[in-house]
Structure 1
Amino acid sequence: MKYSDTLMTEAGEAYMGVIEENMEVTTLTDEQIQVFVDMCAPVYDYFIDED
């Protein structure tokens, strides 16, 4: 499993390099990610209540 994780990490980094050559990539800080999670929480609640 550890070897597989290493391969996936390396492949992901290689793909990101290709993407960054052709696009602008925005990397969010931990604080920005938390703001996004907090703002999406009502959407999750809405769909959970739909069942």
Structure 2
Amino acid sequence: MPDERQEEVMISLEMHYGPIPHPSILGRYEELNPGAAKLIIENGVAE
């Protein structure tokens, strides 16, 4: 009896609309470049 293999695929989609990125993305910008989140928020509010 041959081995039966099953594969499971999981797809995830996350969407965000607006001039300011999702908080998790904004947090990554801040980790990479301290102060970036503040600038992004200020620019987003100005729009």
What is the TM-score normalised by the length of structure 1? 0.28
In terms of fraction of residues, the more helix-rich structure is 1
What is the TM-score normalised by the length of structure 2? 0.29
Larger of the two Rg values belongs to structure: 2
